[in-house]
Amino acid sequence: EQKEVPVGAVIVYKNSIIGKGFNQVEMLKDPTAHAEMIAISAAAAFLESKWLKDCTLYVTMEPCPMCAGAIILSRIPKLVFGCYDPKMGSTGTLYTITEDKRLNHSVHTIGGVMDDVSGNLLKEFFKGKRKV
């Protein structure tokens, strides 16, 4: 039985996946080990650059503030996510970090893609956690 929140992320560059990740917070005992952070690190290593300017990040759930900040810092121009996150969503639900004009970069964001599929996956996970 997996204890991780079921969130996955991939980064695409020129039609190829160059970075991928899944939540590993529990496994690594690391609060920063979110799917997006792991995918960003992998993509930066692949490109040998901290800038991911020509990439798109796809992720199961709307990024949290930490991940939204990393998306800004890595200069990812496009973000596509599945379900909205009413508790930590930082690309439109609670905050709009990725479009904050005070920052030096903004991200074209498309949310709610396959929202029902992603949302149901997370609902089932948390329903199972509450039974334990």
What positions carry a catalytic annotation?
Answer: 36
Handedness of CA 83, 86, 88, 91 (dihedral sign): positive
Across-strand partners of 19? 11
**CA-based diameter of the chain, in Å?**
44
Burial (CB count <10 Å: 0-12, 13-18, 19+), residue 92 = middle
Decide: 91 and 61 in contact? Cβ < 8 Å: no
What 3-state class would DSSP assign to 51?
coil
Neighbours of 2 (CB within 10 A): 11
